[in-house]
A = this chain, B = another copy of it.
Amino acid sequence: MTMSSPKRLAQLLSAHNTRPLFDSLEAFLFDCDGVIWKGDKLIHGVPQTLDLLRSKGKKLVFVTNNSTKSRRQYAIKFQSLGLSVTEDEIFSSSFAAAMYLKVNNFPQQNKVYVIGGEGIIEELQLAGYTGLGGPEDGEKRVQLKSNFLFEHDKTVMYHLAYFCWRNPFLFIYFFCSLKLICCSISQVGAVVVGLDPDINYYKLQYGTLCIRENPGCLFIATNRDAVGHMTDLQEWPGAGCMVGAMCGSTEKEPIVVGKPSTFMMEFLLKKFQIDTSKMCMVGDRLDTDILFGHNAGCKTLLVLSGVTTQSTLQDPSNNIQPDYYTGKISDILDLLGQ
């Protein structure tokens, strides 16, 4: 291993450098998949490590790109694994998607079409929005036959019926300019795309029509992770897969709210009011966790318990270097002599 520019290369966490790092930090930001757990299995030594950090007065924050759950659902998952973590300590990309709409004053009467899990629908609801799609459209199929028109806003027909009932003249207008009416009252103003194991052509067509045909419709990606440990034994396509599909059909690029975007950092800073230089982002991915940490001005620690191997980290083609790396988070315990 060449060490011509040692300051740039990640340092292996050691008995020598762990204590100064630990003392300089007020908060630890943890990714979850590959750091805290793999699928539904806790990674070795996690409870003891979190307990130690809390006992030393460190703030703990969990920043996850996995959008399948809401913050509330994540808190339940932590509890089911024996970890005491509150909703307030969790920042998921499902929450970030809802917050993006909120801070950008997305009108509450507009609907949001969701390619993703229940977590996004729930966070949208908590923020006062109506999410369509998601798990509800998981079993839907399309009919590719002549004269079949795919309607991309379920509210359209209800509104038409209502308007026609209120004003019979609209019946005539309706039949004269069906397409115009459909477009003008179509209420989907944003499509949120996250990890969706129930991805199908129905959802892809729905989201594609909204983005291509509804003027100003937002295209929001919770994240673009290529793969993730959806089970403990192997990696599966991540949200980057569904987002890539939508990029392919819409020829547009999304607004990404999850890591490495620092959008979530604003909320985090508002809540914890700690200087980012006193935070350490701990994650298993270079292109999301470590880049997020870099972008936000945090210290960064890569753990090798998830998707990144040591050889990937040290490959000359890799240009994202964390400040430190180690096998798993419980190494901190050992290195501090606890």
Give me the interface of A with B, judged by CB distance under 8 Å: 39-41, 142, 144-150, 196-201, 204-205, 208-209, 212, 224, 226-227, 230-238, 240-251
Contact = CB atoms under 8 A, between A and B. Distances in A.
Given A147-B233, A237-B248, A244-B249, 20 more contacts: A39-B146, A144-B197, A146-B232, A147-B231, A150-B236, A196-B201, A197-B201, A199-B199, A199-B201, A199-B204, A204-B237, A204-B241, A209-B234, A212-B227, A226-B248, A226-B250, A226-B251, A227-B249, A240-B249, A245-B245
Contacts of A208: 227, 236-237, 241
Instruction: Select the residue from A142, A201, A204 with max chain B CB neighbours within 10 A.
Output: A201
Nearest to A237: B249
A44 B231 CA distance: 53
Contacts of A146: 39-41, 231-232
A148 B301 CA distance: 30
Contacts of A233: 147-149
Contact of A237 (B149, B201, B241): B201
A201 B68 CA distance: 15
Contacts of A41: 146
B231 A238 contact: no
Contacts of A231: 144-149
A246 to B, nearest CB: 7
A158 to B, nearest CB: 21
A133 B234 CA distance: 20
Contacts of A148: 231, 233
Contact of A249 (B40, B201, B241, B248): B241
A103 B165 CA distance: 64
Given A201-B197, A201-B198, A240 B248 contact: yes
Instruction: Select the residue from A233, A235, A244, A246 with max chain B CB neighbours within 10 A.
Output: A244
A207 to B, nearest CB: 9
A247 B244 contact: yes
A248 B250 contact: no
A251 B200 CA distance: 21
Contacts of A197: 142, 144, 201
B249 A144 contact: no
A230 B199 contact: no
B236 A144 contact: yes
A96 B280 CA distance: 51
Instruction: Select the residue from A148, A242, A249 with max chain B CB neighbours within 10 A.
Output: A249
A204 B196 CA distance: 11
A147 B198 contact: no
